């Protein structure tokens, strides 16, 4: 009986392989069989709950309903309503979502925004605007005197953004106690770069590092910048916040998350596809509206101005996000995130009870955490008992470079 079942399974897999590489178009039954096999595979991937994988399990029910009912449509979210009035359903709803998030972030009417594919695009966009901003402010003809400051915990898209925008980058150290930018090292680096002739500084700060969940001390860093500029009027800074992970949790957990009250902060980027489980790729950037003057361009065939990186963007994802935020109020979402953080604490207590050489990095207000394995016993436990992935990470601290065995953990809320 077992052999018969195996033969049937093998035959089925061969048939699926044939469907994946057809000689002629598939008929309706073959399409149904193939799509069902895809569905089963995606379901298996979703059910594999590895806490090291930074993906949402499934779309939230409001986004799921939206994409099912509107699957026959493909609205093009082109241009930017910040310049001219919305001209379609998706641009109207984009404007409303931006206003919702602005309200969560306590931003004023001088703040604009638009949908992106996520915070990788957001970081590239911020670097692009920041570069042009510094070139204009400093009256420079090239980027030779502009430097981007980054650390080893910052998202890899920061390096990509520096490359694409033709600006050099300089490493700054991470504090080995707070696991964010070391303030003394930051000051030292800026002074050295200024003495070397640099005048423009691109400074991305992170709210929810991908690996550790920790966040930079934005208020203190803005104060450092203000003091430096007072002594060195020829220097200019462009600061933005990469809040891909914690941007939305901050909105629901904090009563006073107001990033733009810091005058140095020009832009913030966040994602909806991570913690809110809206289909990939869905993100948002908010920025001071005057920055659009540094990048805007005409789209003559629709009498619209474009101030985005991609131009055409998914309108369905905009509608799915609008539906999500309209149905999930701040109180209900706060409860969802609180439950996720409770799960995180429970898991970290289990790790702590193992009494092995494992350092736990835990920012209390995030759904992320990190483990650092300090010996072979800890590594073996993490791999064999908890089935978690260990990454080799090289980080610059004030004392020098260190190579660490790190485990990133995500406790995504169930929406």
DSSP states of 315-338: HHHHHHHHHHHHHS-HHHHHHHHH
pLDDT of 324 strictly over 90: yes
Report how far residue 372's alpha carbon sits from residue 359's, in angstroms, rounded to the nearest whole number.
Answer: 5
Instruction: Look at residue 288 and give its three-state secondary structure.
Output: strand
Angle at 62 between CA 58 and CA 65, to 5 degrees: 85
Per-residue pLDDT of 92-128, as tens digits, reads: 999 999 999 999 999 999 999 999 999 999 999 999 9
Domain ranges in the chain are: 2-48, 89-327, 340-410
Q: Does domain 89-327 have CATH number 3.40.640.10?
A: yes
Per-residue pLDDT reduced to its tens digit, 327-358: 988 888 999 999 999 999 999 999 999 999 99
Confidence (pTM): 0.91
């Amino acid at each position: 009986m077992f052999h018969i079942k195996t033969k049937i399974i093998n035959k089925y897999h061969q048939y699926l392989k044939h469907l994946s590489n057809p000689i002629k178009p598939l008929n309706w039954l073959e399409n149904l069989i193939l799509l069902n096999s895809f569905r089963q595979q995606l379901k298996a991937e979703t059910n594999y709950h590895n806490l090291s994988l930074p993906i949402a399990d499934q779309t939230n029910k409001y986004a799921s309903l939206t994409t099912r009912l509107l699957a026959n449509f493909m609205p093009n979210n082109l241009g930017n309503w910040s310049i001219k009035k919305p001209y379609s359903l998706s641009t109207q709803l984009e404007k409303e979502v931006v206003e919702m998030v602005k309200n969560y972030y306590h931003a004023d009417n001088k703040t604009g925004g638009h949908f992106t594919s996520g915070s990788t695009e957001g970081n590239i966009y911020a670097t692009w605007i920041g570069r042009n901003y510094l070139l204009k402010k400093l009256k420079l003809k090239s980027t030779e005197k502009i430097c981007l400051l980054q650390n080893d915990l910052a998202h890899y898209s920061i390096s990509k953004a520096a490359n694409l925008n033709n600006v050099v980058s300089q490493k700054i150290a991470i504090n080995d106690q707070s696991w964010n930018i070391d303030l003394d090292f930051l000051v030292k680096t800026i002074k050295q770069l200024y003495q070397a002739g640099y005048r423009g500084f691109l400074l991305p700060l992170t709210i929810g590092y991908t690996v550790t969940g920790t966040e930079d001390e934005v208020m203190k860093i803005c104060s450092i910048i203000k003091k430096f500029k007072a002594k060195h009027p020829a220097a200019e800074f462009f600061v933005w916040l990469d809040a891909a992970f914690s941007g939305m949790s901050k909105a629901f957990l904090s009563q006073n998350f107001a990033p733009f009250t810091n005058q140095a902060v020009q832009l913030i980027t966040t994602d909806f596809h991570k913690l809110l489980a809206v289909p990939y790729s869905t993100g948002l950037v908010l920025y001071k509206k005057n920055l659009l003057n540094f990048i805007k361009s005409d789209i003559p065939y629709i009498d619209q101005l474009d101030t985005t990186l991609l131009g055409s963007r998914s309108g369905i994802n905009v509608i799915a996000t609008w539906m999500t935020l309209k149905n999930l109020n701040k109180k209900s979402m706060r409860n969802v995130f609180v439950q996720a953080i409770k799960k995180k604490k429970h898991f970290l207590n289990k790790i702590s009870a193992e009494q092995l050489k494992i350092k736990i990095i835990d920012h209390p207000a995030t759904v992320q955490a990190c483990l650092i394995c300090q010996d072979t016993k800890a590594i073996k436990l993490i791999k064999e008992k908890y089935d978690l992935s260990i990454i080799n990470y090289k980080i610059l601290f004030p004392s020098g470079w260190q190579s660490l065995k790190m485990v990133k953990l995500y406790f995504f809320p169930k929406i």
